Structure 1
Amino acid sequence: MKKVSEQYDVVVCGGGLAGVCAAIAAARGGAKTALVQDRPVLGGNSSSEVRVTPHGAAAFHAYARETGILSELLIEERAVNHEAIFENGWTNSVWDMVIYDLVQNTENLTLHLNTAVLGVVVEGSTLRSVECRVGNAEVDLSLKASIFIDCTGDSIVAAEAGCEWRMGSEGKAEFNEPHAPAEANGDIMGNSIHFKTKDMGRPVPFKLPSWAIEHTDGRYFYDQGRLPKEVRGGYWWIEIGVPYDTIHEAETIRHELTRHTLGVWDWIKNKDPKTMKLAENYALDWIGQVPGKRESRRVMGRYLMNEWDAIHCTEHPDEIAFGGWFIDIHTPGGLLAATSEPASAEGYSETSEYASRSYAGPYGVPLRMLVAKDIDNLMMAGRNVSATHCALATVRVMATTALMGQAAGVAAALAVESHIRLDEVCTSHFNTVQQRLLREGCFLPNVRNEDPLDLARAAKVSATSESLFRGVGPESVGAHEGLSFWRDQAVPLREELLQRRGQWVAVGGDTLRSVRFCLSNRTTHVQHVEVRAMRVKHIWDYVVDDSMVLAGATLTVDPGDQQWINWTLPEGIELPQQGYVRFDLLENADVSWHVAGAIEPGHVSAFEMAPGKMRRYSSGVTLALRVDPPQRCFAASNVTSGQTRPHAWTNLWRSDPDLSLPQTLTLTWDEEHAVSVIDLTFAGHLLREYHAYAPFYRDPQCVKDYDVQVDVRGTWQTVLSVRDNYQRLRRHSLFAPVVTSKLRVVVTATNGDPSAAIYEIRVY
């Protein structure tokens, strides 16, 4: 064996999305970084080897898509990939190459593929090196560093270093978690493989191998939550864990999964009366042989997240990421169990007791749970973070782990740069990590931009025009081409008021006097609907409580379709000067509240899933209502609000859609500044789950063509021209500093929307 030793500032082990984001973030932060991956491709479970599609908070919450490095990757993939997303199993190598390209274009980052961690060297409580072997190269590689980040999933680095870890479920007594079993046990979620089929245009046969599992009972699928709904492939529920050990018996699980996968296809193709005709022309195209793991070791950190943190949205001072997937605990055993994952087994009910108990977030994730308690210079990111079994059920999804990875990389680079320990970063320097994450495009629900070096924060902001919110109706038209629904979340949209339903309205400017609702009464009798104006903190404030009521009334709805029913707000109602009010219509199944034909940015809706608790209505739509007078909620000043998506406010400048482009946003200072860097965050890529976006997708809201100009002695000079943009975050460094007291962004084209729209501008 050839022996090679290399020295770095940061070594990241594991090339899944968490590891990729950690390594890129550390390298961008100035740390000399190595990324070690034991497979030939990057992306981990999301890669073309495993083909699990990345999920995150936007599957359940509007405007909750993860941003930062992950967003760069997903936006790029959709813009260049010709294939539509249907679910697990579809992923092609375009995704692999998008990740590979970004890694290769990142300075300070060295990539080691096909390189497995075999052991570690530890001195006291300090990790000195990871010992690796490069497959097919007969090279033993010793990687030394100041900081190590374990993103291996199974926590091989932490385990070899002697860190405390857990595997299995905590008992009820420890944290009293709603989903915890009465007694602690070894139950963990299982591994899955996926398959993909191809339409051959003519009938093609399939013969089940003799060693595969033959399924003959439809109840196994239709009565136990294993719905064979897609002949193209997918199926997360092809899962096996217990009674096997997902680490040491991974190969046994792989073989058993292969046997079952072929049996599932045989059922769909040859036996199921509901799918045989649909699958007649389909042939197997690909079967995974690298199982995707959900759970194994969880390394104990400086904070152990539990299920209550997710459900109660605990505000952590060291918040560095957010999550919003539900408490998704799969049935132990998977295919070997009596039923599949509980939500699937009950048909993805949105109003069951289980659904209400499992709905979580968006919640903050603390930095402390990414820092190992037993090794001074070791962090974790991915499904191995310091969380209970129940908490892991929500933070384990890949989009959330990618955010944790980026945070770990930023924290590691800061520790190296400032010559401080990781425990000091957690206790005394987490605010610096937070501010760096915000500048890198991440979103933190409870943290705003407070960067003292950002000149834009001190500027006066104006624009050539500003959109007003007047409301939208069923006839409204929006620029939403290519935006659809993730199939598994596209529940039938029932407009009848089967439950209480609410619409958030951003109020600002002239005091709101009245609201009109577009309602239908298809009975022959007059109907009455209770209406409430509710005080809310932000767009994810799903609470329903009498203490929130600002005003209420009863609306009278005569028989007829699509009537605009007016509610004049009472005098003296205490509306916020700038913020959201939620307008709720209470249950009346004989009345329909219609969905608008357009989606107004930042205006979300929800319904009461259980007493006192709402959840997103449909997959992110705006309900039909109109307000008087129009509200000034898209002002130019929003670009320095400190947040880059709708939350407690729209936080968006949007030009008047009735005026043609170009439209201009201008910053003015009382004195001149030397300007070197301009950061721009554009609209789009936030509303829905990644799965909702079409091939070659470029968000219509995103600015396509723009110029940056500065005032030099009374004359506007163009210092930057950008064409054909589709990325959300753009950072521009000028060739040389320019001294000016005025700067403007001239938007000449978008990717389809009539309005220019910018969430944030920063100037340095």
Structure 2
Amino acid sequence: MKNVTERYEVVVCGGGLAGFCAAVAAARAGATVCLIQDRPVFGGNSSSEIRVTPHGAAAFHNYARETGIISELLIEERAINHEKIRENGWTNSVWDLTMYNMAVNTPNLSFHLNTSIVEVEMDGEGKLTSVSGRVAGAETLLTIQGDLFIDCTGDAVVSDMAGCEWRWGSEGRDEFNEPHAPLEASDATMGNSIHFRAKDMGRPVPFSAPDWAVSYDDPDFFDKQGRMVYDIEAGYWWIEIGVPWNTVYDNETIRHELTRHTLGIWDWIKNKDPKLKEQAKNLALDWIGQVPGKRESRRVMGQYLMTEHDPVNRTVFPDEIAFGGWFIDLHTPGGLLAPTAEPASAEGYTETTDYAVKSYCGPYGIPLRILIAKDVDNLLLAGRNVSVTHAALGTVRVMATTALMGQAAGTAAAMALQKGIPLKELPDKAAKELQQKLLRDGCFLPNVVNEDQGDFAREATVTASSQELLHGAGPESVDHTGGLESLWSRNNAEAPPEPLNHRRGQWIAVGSDGIASLEVCLSNDSDTTQPIGLELVPVDHIWDYRVNTGTVLVAHRLEVPPHSAKEWFRWELNLGTESGLKPGSYVRLDLLPNENVQWHSAGTFVPGHPSAYEIGAGRMRRYSADGSTMSYRISPPQSCFEPANVVSGVTRPHRYTNVWRSDGSQPLDQWLQLEWTETRELREVHLTFPGHLRTEYHRYAPFYRDPQCPKDYVIEARINGNWQIIAIEKGNYQRLRIHQLQAPVVTDAVRIVVQATNGDASASIYEVRCY
């Protein structure tokens, strides 16, 4: 056995998305970093070995995609990958290589693959000094020494060996009074899954299951127990088993059992179900995973234990360092061996049941303290092993959320080392600085805005060559963004309109000229006149799902004549600031229920303008798969895409649109200018562009480059009264671009000239920073 010893400042154990983002973040922040992964590829559950696509807040909330390192990776993968992506089973090695390429190209970062942690060493005073790992196939024992350690192993392997307190299973209802907790505490965990992929061969392909496969013969197991066979070319999350086995110690047994069940399920699809076997006759089984994807095991106790109440009530934490927005998704213990699949699936994902209403949450903030192990002084956590209850794990466990926690942990580790602050003191002494660093690195925090004292763009006067005005949109509207609308809803305007069965709301950004009138496009197929109630209410942000926000600015009643078809109905308002209208904010136009009336979706999505509908208990949720813009017109047109939005401190629609958009009717080039009364020494320009925010990653096509994102642009600086080009970019498709100048320049104005986008008629920018 060969023995090798290495030393680094930060040691990250576990190369899933949490660990990968932690390692890259710490290395970018200047620390020497070693990343240890027990598999041959990075990515954990998202890798080509397991093939679960990263989920996150955008599954349920418009403009809630996670940004930062995870965004860089996902944008890059879609831009270069020829393969379509689905929820499960279709991830290929291009994704693995995307991560590997980033790791190789990150200064200060070293890594060891195929290395399993087998031992840790402590100094006797509550600190880790090293971890030891065995390299598979290399007869090598690595001893990796470090100053700070980050446990991203999922199973909390390092934390367990270091003696940390951890929890397993579900807390009882009496401990924290969590609505999703069982009455009695239990050691049952959510299970592991494997996926499969099928390939269309263009001709009938037979399949015979081996004798050791599980035999499925009861259609009720699928049709009536929430195990929906909806995409027969891809795997299913519900091929899941945990209880009665332990998801750590019995992992290999679970893998074998899952394989038996997967083959039996494929046999049911191919040979037994009358409808499915016809659909699957040309499909061949192409791949079955043999590395189970885990949902739950050990949860390590940190400085704070996050309960279900925090995400549901959107607790505002002073040490907020990430956000989530998945629902409280707790799978039935036993998986395939249980009487039904998890509750949401068993209900057919109906969105208005009591369970769906109480499970819907976010976006919400996540505190740094759940990432700091309470029992080891130099240990951070990120991933599904953080300090949360079983119920809270139901929402924070999804991979895009864990990636954000990973980036925060890595950034925090580097900051603690550079400032000489013990980890336990970091939330009190450096939380605000950490938050500003995360924002600067492209992350989003729901309750934090850019207050970076070094960013002198915040003091600039901002102008532009033109700006888009908000007119609204109708069923006849043509997509003018070059493909901004969801790829799954391209023909949204042609889809059968849904009756107005529930209150439905449309967010509208308010400019400075008030609202004289609103129009809505409605149909009434009945033989009688139908009344429709309208309300205009102020909202705090685009995720303010309260039916009752505390104020109704104005209410109205429309009469929709019988047999009306896509007719526009006008509402005179004449609202100004004296009526409570606040420029630079959102209002929501609500139409009250009438099942005989249809409110039509627009033929395009207006940037920053989603919709929602009431689900019960005074709450709303995103309407349709992508939060379609409903058909409305507003007069006068609102100036809500103004140039000053690029210094609002927020890099996505939230409390306002926060984006500059040029007038799409005018040709490119279009420019945005920042000007100061005194000259500044400029060294860096940071640009944040639109794109990849509205919907989840798996909705995007191969070789996708978001149309809104500027493709070709130049940055100019005014030096001694003359404009000089200081940066040129061609072929861009990434959201965050940092331009470090070869030499500092002294300037009193900076101009970004957008020469081409990836398809949108308008030039768009969320944020400009200058250092």
- TM-score normalised by L of structure 2: 0.98
Contact 1:486 1:689 (C-alpha < 8 Å) held by counterparts: no
Give the CA deviation at 1:494. 5.0
**Partner residue, 2:137:** 136
SS of residue matched to 1:411: helix
The superposition leaves residues 159-211 of structure 1 with CA deviations (integer Å, 9 ceiling, x where unpaired) of 00000000000000111111000111111100000000111111111101001
CA distance in 2, matches of 1:682, 1:485: 20
**Partner residue, 2:103:** 103
**Partner residue, 1:502:** 505
Give the CA deviation at 1:400. 0.2
**Partner residue, 1:716:** 723
CA distance in 1, matches of 2:488, 2:115: 35
**Partner residue, 2:658:** 651
SS of residue matched to 2:275: coil
SS of residue matched to 1:607: strand
Structure 2 residue identity aligned to 1:531: L
The superposition leaves residues 613-669 of structure 1 with CA deviations (integer Å, 9 ceiling, x where unpaired) of 000001221111010111110000000000000000100000011111000000101
**Partner residue, 1:707:** 714
**Partner residue, 2:531:** 528
The superposition leaves residues 424-449 of structure 1 with CA deviations (integer Å, 9 ceiling, x where unpaired) of 21111011110000011000000000
Match of 1:545 among 548, 558, 561: 548
The superposition leaves residues 39-80 of structure 1 with CA deviations (integer Å, 9 ceiling, x where unpaired) of 000000000000011100000000000000000000000111
The superposition leaves residues 533-588 of structure 1 with CA deviations (integer Å, 9 ceiling, x where unpaired) of 11110000000117231111111212311111111126552111210000100000
- TM-score normalised by L of structure 1: 0.98
CA distance in 1, matches of 2:719, 2:250: 68
Residue 546 and residue 325 in structure 1: after superposition, are their counterparts in 2 closer, same or farther (change >3 A)?
closer
Q: How many residues align?
A: 761
CA distance in 2, matches of 1:371, 1:486: 40
Instruction: Describe how 1:129-168 pairs up with structure 2 within 5 A.
Output: 129-168=130-169
**Partner residue, 1:332:** 333
CA distance in 1, matches of 2:104, 2:303: 33
Match of 2:621 among 611, 615, 618: 615
SS of residue matched to 1:274: helix
Contact 1:482 1:693 (C-alpha < 8 Å) held by counterparts: no
Instruction: Describe how 1:137-536 pairs up with structure 2 within 5 A.
Output: 137-478=138-479, 479-481=481-483, 484=486, 495-536=498-539
SS of residue matched to 1:310: helix
**Partner residue, 1:625:** 632
CA distance in 2, matches of 1:166, 1:313: 24
Contact 2:538 2:549 (C-alpha < 8 Å) held by counterparts: no
CA distance in 1, matches of 2:718, 2:116: 55
CA distance in 1, matches of 2:754, 2:26: 33
Is residue 2:564 matched to residue 1:558?
no
**Partner residue, 2:29:** 29
Contact 1:482 1:697 (C-alpha < 8 Å) held by counterparts: no
Give the CA deviation at 1:4. 1.1
CA distance in 2, matches of 1:573, 1:521: 32
Instruction: Describe how 1:36-75 pairs up with structure 2 within 5 A.
Output: 36-75=36-75
Match of 1:669 among 670, 676, 679: 676
SS of residue matched to 1:146: strand
**Partner residue, 1:589:** 595
Greater mean deviation of Cα atoms: 474-483 or 219-228: 474-483
SS of residue matched to 2:277: coil
SS of residue matched to 2:263: helix
Structure 2 residue identity aligned to 1:481: G
Contact 1:639 1:653 (C-alpha < 8 Å) held by counterparts: yes
CA distance in 2, matches of 1:504, 1:545: 15
**Partner residue, 1:746:** 753
CA distance in 2, matches of 1:388, 1:715: 60
Residue 248 and residue 295 in structure 1: after superposition, are their counterparts in 2 closer, same or farther (change >3 A)?
same
SS of residue matched to 1:600: coil
**Partner residue, 1:756:** 763
Residue 57 and residue 421 in structure 1: after superposition, are their counterparts in 2 closer, same or farther (change >3 A)?
same
Give the CA deviation at 1:103. 0.8
Structure 2 residue identity aligned to 1:505: I
SS of residue matched to 2:278: coil
Give the CA deviation at 1:87. 2.1
Contact 1:170 1:183 (C-alpha < 8 Å) held by counterparts: yes
CA distance in 1, matches of 2:367, 2:112: 30
Contact 1:711 1:741 (C-alpha < 8 Å) held by counterparts: yes
CA distance in 2, matches of 1:458, 1:182: 55
CA distance in 1, matches of 2:761, 2:265: 48
The superposition leaves residues 343-373 of structure 1 with CA deviations (integer Å, 9 ceiling, x where unpaired) of 1111010111111010010000000000000
Match of 1:568 among 572, 588, 613: 572
Contact 1:483 1:692 (C-alpha < 8 Å) held by counterparts: no
Give the CA deviation at 1:284. 0.7
Give the CA deviation at 1:486. 6.7
Contact 1:485 1:688 (C-alpha < 8 Å) held by counterparts: no
CA distance in 2, matches of 1:322, 1:255: 36
CA distance in 1, matches of 2:363, 2:42: 28
SS of residue matched to 2:274: coil
Contact 2:86 2:699 (C-alpha < 8 Å) held by counterparts: no
Give the CA deviation at 1:493. 7.4
Give the CA deviation at 1:692. 1.3
Contact 2:541 2:586 (C-alpha < 8 Å) held by counterparts: yes
Contact 1:536 1:548 (C-alpha < 8 Å) held by counterparts: no
SS of residue matched to 1:428: helix
CA distance in 1, matches of 2:413, 2:667: 46
Give the CA deviation at 1:733. 0.3
SS of residue matched to 1:283: strand
Residue 761 and residue 182 in structure 1: after superposition, are their counterparts in 2 closer, same or farther (change >3 A)?
same
Residue 484 and residue 511 in structure 1: after superposition, are their counterparts in 2 closer, same or farther (change >3 A)?
closer
CA distance in 1, matches of 2:478, 2:609: 15
Contact 1:34 1:111 (C-alpha < 8 Å) held by counterparts: yes
SS of residue matched to 1:233: coil
Give the CA deviation at 1:724. 0.5
Contact 2:514 2:574 (C-alpha < 8 Å) held by counterparts: no
Structure 1 unaligned runs (5+)?
Answer: none
SS of residue matched to 2:171: coil
Structure 2 residue identity aligned to 1:230: D
CA distance in 1, matches of 2:409, 2:443: 13
Residue 344 and residue 493 in structure 1: after superposition, are their counterparts in 2 closer, same or farther (change >3 A)?
farther
Greater mean deviation of Cα atoms: 544-553 or 516-525: 544-553
Give the CA deviation at 1:133. 1.2
Structure 1 residue identity aligned to 2:178: E
CA distance in 1, matches of 2:234, 2:74: 22
Compute the RMSD of aligned alpha carbons.
1.2
Is residue 2:607 matched to residue 1:601?
yes
CA distance in 1, matches of 2:713, 2:498: 40
SS of residue matched to 1:622: coil
Structure 2 residue identity aligned to 1:601: P
SS of residue matched to 1:275: helix
CA distance in 2, matches of 1:282, 1:239: 23
Greater mean deviation of Cα atoms: 252-261 or 478-487: 478-487
